[in-house]
Chain A
């Protein structure tokens, strides 16, 4: 057998690791570990010079294993595997020790953190010894795409993909395309008509032979993997099977219901309305109270359900600018009205938005700041002598004064929430929810539309509250990712699959019953289990259920994990009593 020659690289990550872990000492001490041929520390291992260092050493020192001790393998495992590949080594002859997220960033004692880094590296060194070369496998990419959600995000993605001649199945749960934009009048900051934007797009969808639209449809079941998904949907009473290679989830948002906020008494005051209701009013062309009169005093409350512990902690991102848009529209329609805003912070971050704020504040609009976390305004019924319907009580933050404002109409700028079925749909397509019930992207900065399930993308407000341009950008980004994959023609599939050693298999079929993908079948003639490697996703459940040890979970073998445990617990690296 070939001699094991390991290269160990300890990353500083600037000061991120080096501040809490004595990386030079770690690299020096770990050099004496068995089979370690070179051990180095470097400022940024993931940088080009860092990777070149590995490649050069592999060639110069004839290395056949590499351990990089740096950040989480979830971030740079792929980077370093590629470096190994570039040096002519199998990418799976690599292991990472996470000494940043699991060490330097979470501990406060430099000595302890340094010792822990050594134990993690010892585990990785032990493990990598047992690594085996694994060959990449590819399958054909089905060029069709399933898009779930027919709002602006889903529509944009569908057109982008179909315009390049690829098939799109667009599924919409309601009876029409367009989503929330159908109910919007003008859009901020340039006051373009939402209908003029969305209608031509819907027409193009309906006339595009490459897009099949399924209205009143939801998916309940999904099988397959990247490149080869399938689902069954019912259309016109008949069941239809769809096959596609990629999925875009664009299920959007729903509006927060303000019933639970006591001080606003939304259910009792007929003229306390949500921004959704006011938008409909604008679209109909008439701003009227429930009594059919033009309101004289209009009071707009920001952050309703947003940025508050009791409701949602996040900012819904679009309400501030929508509220400013309302002021402009009200000012045009009712020149003599009084317009008030109770706001928490004016968030005018987008292109043209700060300008909209400046423009609006010159239009005789009064801005009152309130504490959205602890001290919400109160809406009270006015008495006859007040000559208005409601009075708003508010502690104005900037002046420190308590104010009382007359109002005939109150508009609540309600938050954006995830859809009610976000969790179930997420489970169907394999995407998790974040703490705020929105879908989690693969990486918040570097991979914002992909998810941890290959071939599934999340775009628009189902991922977090978003305005139209951001939703469209995400939709087109996902479309571009998918088109690139379709263009390539094949996709790589999981190589860390399970494999059965037929000599050890006793034919008990325990593995067949535990496999969640029906990837294991039983060969009646040989009396052994057989793994279908295309269906296997490498979870390893069969491996731990197998009573004879016949199943090997590639890259997570018993030997590899047991050796890692030994390394982690090497006596010389134990914590000292203090």
Chain B
């Protein structure tokens, strides 16, 4: 019996979502644990979204944006990067493994990289085991 983690992934529309689409059009295969949410820019991703995903039972959250310098909105990905580092610290203080949240750059042409990332991230989260946040929150309420 192997643990099947649930993963929520926020992808920016212009690079990463397109990269994930390319993985599809190229028929690359990857683990089905990942569920994608499209936002226009990684800069739109609020800490609340990430925390909400953990709260609702995600075992891992993967954020992808355009490579530095390639952001469709010039620098939204840099803003995401700053928030990401703080957020990683924050979830660590909450008692979670900070690696449950990751930020990677995927360009529109990196379908292969996206498929590989989906697999490696799934594997990493599988090794970390289930995230207990939802359970704990439920006992509190």
Contacts and interface: CB of A to CB of B under 8 A. Distances in A.
A and B part of one assembly: yes
Interface of A: 72-74, 98, 100-103, 105-109, 112-113, 115-116, 119-120, 123, 423, 427, 430, 432-435, 440, 452-453, 496, 514, 516-517, 537-541, 543-545, 553, 556, 558, 561-562, 564-566, 568-569, 571, 574-578
B36 A569 contact: no
B43 A539 contact: yes
A537 B57 contact: no
Contact of B8 (A112, A569, A575): A569
Nearest to A576: B4
A514 B83 CA distance: 13
Contacts of B47: 544
A517 B15 CA distance: 20
A534 to B, nearest CB: 16
Contact of B15 (A113, A432, A496, A539): A432
User: Sorted from nearest, which 5 A-B pairs have the closest CB atoms?
Assistant: A101-B24, A540-B44, A541-B43, A539-B73, A569-B56
Given A74-B18, A516-B74, A571 B57 contact: yes
Interface in B96-121: 107-110, 115
Contacts of B24: 72, 100-102, 105-106
Interface in B22-62: 23-25, 27-30, 32-33, 35-41, 43-49, 52-53, 56-58
Contacts of A453: 72
30 contacts: A72-B17, A102-B20, A102-B24, A106-B29, A106-B32, A116-B32, A116-B35, A120-B35, A120-B36, A430-B72, A432-B14, A432-B72, A432-B108, A440-B109, A452-B72, A516-B73, A538-B40, A539-B44, A540-B76, A543-B44, A544-B79, A556-B40, A558-B48, A562-B48, A565-B49, A565-B53, A568-B8, A575-B4, A577-B3, A578-B2
A107 B32 CA distance: 6
Contacts of B123: none
A545 B79 contact: yes
Interface residues of B, number: 56
B123 to A, nearest CB: 15
A529 to B, nearest CB: 17
Contacts of B44: 539-541, 543-544, 553, 556
Contacts of B15: 432
Contact of A577 (B1, B21, B29): B1
Nearest to B134: A569
A562 B44 CA distance: 13
Given A101-B21, A120-B35, A569-B8, A544 B69 contact: no
A578 B21 contact: no
- Which of B8, B13, B25, B58 has the most A CB atoms < 10 Å from its CB? B25
Contact of B38 (A73, A100, A435, A558): A73
A291 B51 CA distance: 74
A494 to B, nearest CB: 10
A100 B4 CA distance: 22
Contact of A569 (B14, B27, B58): B58
Interface string B110-138: 10000100000000000000000000000
B112 to A, nearest CB: 9
B37 A544 contact: no
A409 B53 CA distance: 67
A228 B50 CA distance: 37
Given A102-B36, A569-B8, A544 B29 contact: no
B88 interface: no
Contact of B35 (A73, A119, A544): A119
A571 B38 CA distance: 21
Given A544-B46, A569-B56, A434 B109 contact: yes
